[in-house]
Amino acid sequence: MRFLLVLVLLGGIACSFHGVLSNQLSGIGNGFFTAGEEKPGDRIEAIQFFLGALGEFKGIQVKVNDQWSEKYGLSGGNPEKFTLWKGESIIKVSGYHNLCIHSITMETNLGRTFTIGEPTGQKFTASPPEEGMVLSGIRGLYGAICIQKMSFDWKHAPKKNNHLK
C-alpha cells in the first residue's frame, strides 16, 4: 500500500512539471490569462512579476498600450519589471521551475535579455512556432503559495508601413 502511495505522489509531481509549458495548464489551482495583443495595434510594453521571500513567483501584471492589467496570482511579493523600448517585442522565454516558477528570462527582437529570479529546478524554454511571431499573452495556473505553471501565446508582429515619398 505504501508503495502505491509513493507512486501516486511521484506521478503527481511529474504531471505538475508537464504543465509548465502546456496550453492545457491542467492541475489544481486558479487559472489566469494576461490579455496581451488582442487588436492589431496593441503592444506589450512591460511585464511585472511579484516574487515571494523564497524566490517563488507570486503574481504577474502586463502593461499593454500604457495600461496595466489587473494583478493575477497571489497578493504580496516584491515587484520586478521588464520594460520594453518602442518597437521592441519579446521573441523567446525561458526559465526554471519546480513546484513553483522561480526564474524567467525574456529575449527581445532588439537583442536585449531580461532575467528575473534565480535558476532553481528544471529549465524550460518557449519560442514562437513561426519566425516573425512575438509574445502576445501569458496563461498560467497559481495555487496557495505561487504561480505553478505558465504557457505563452504568440502572434505575428505587425508589419511596418514604409511610405515612399
Return the half-sphere exposure (C-beta side, CA atoms, 13 A cut-off) of residue 25: 19
Are the C-beta atoms of 112 and 106 separated by less than 8 Å? no
pLDDT band at 161 (very low <50, low <70, confident <90, very high): low
Domain boundaries in the chain? 2-156
pLDDT above 90 covers a percentage of the chain that reads 66
pLDDT at 30: 87
**For domain 2-156, which architecture applies?**
Aligned Prism (2.100)
Least confident of 17-21, 46-50, 58-62, 82-86: 17-21
pLDDT at 26: 57
pLDDT at 35: 67
34-57 mean pLDDT: 85
Tell me: pLDDT of 82 over 90.
yes
User: CB 138: neighbour CB atoms within 10 A?
Assistant: 24
Checking 156-159 for CB contacts under 8 A at 24+ apart, the result is 156/130, 156/132, 157/89, 157/109, 157/132, 157/133, 158/40, 158/41
Task: Give 118's contacts (C-beta < 8 A, 6+ positions apart).
Answer: 55, 96, 102, 103
Instruction: Specify the residue for cell string 524550460.
Output: 124
pLDDT tens readout for residues 19-40: 444 445 556 778 998 865 566 6
pLDDT tens readout for residues 126-146: 999 999 999 999 999 999 999
Of 156, 94, 152, give the one whose Cα is nearest residue 131.
Answer: 156
pLDDT at 36: 57
pLDDT tens readout for residues 88-131: 999 999 999 999 999 999 999 999 999 999 999 999 999 999 99
Tell me: pLDDT of 11 over 90.
no
pLDDT at 43: 86
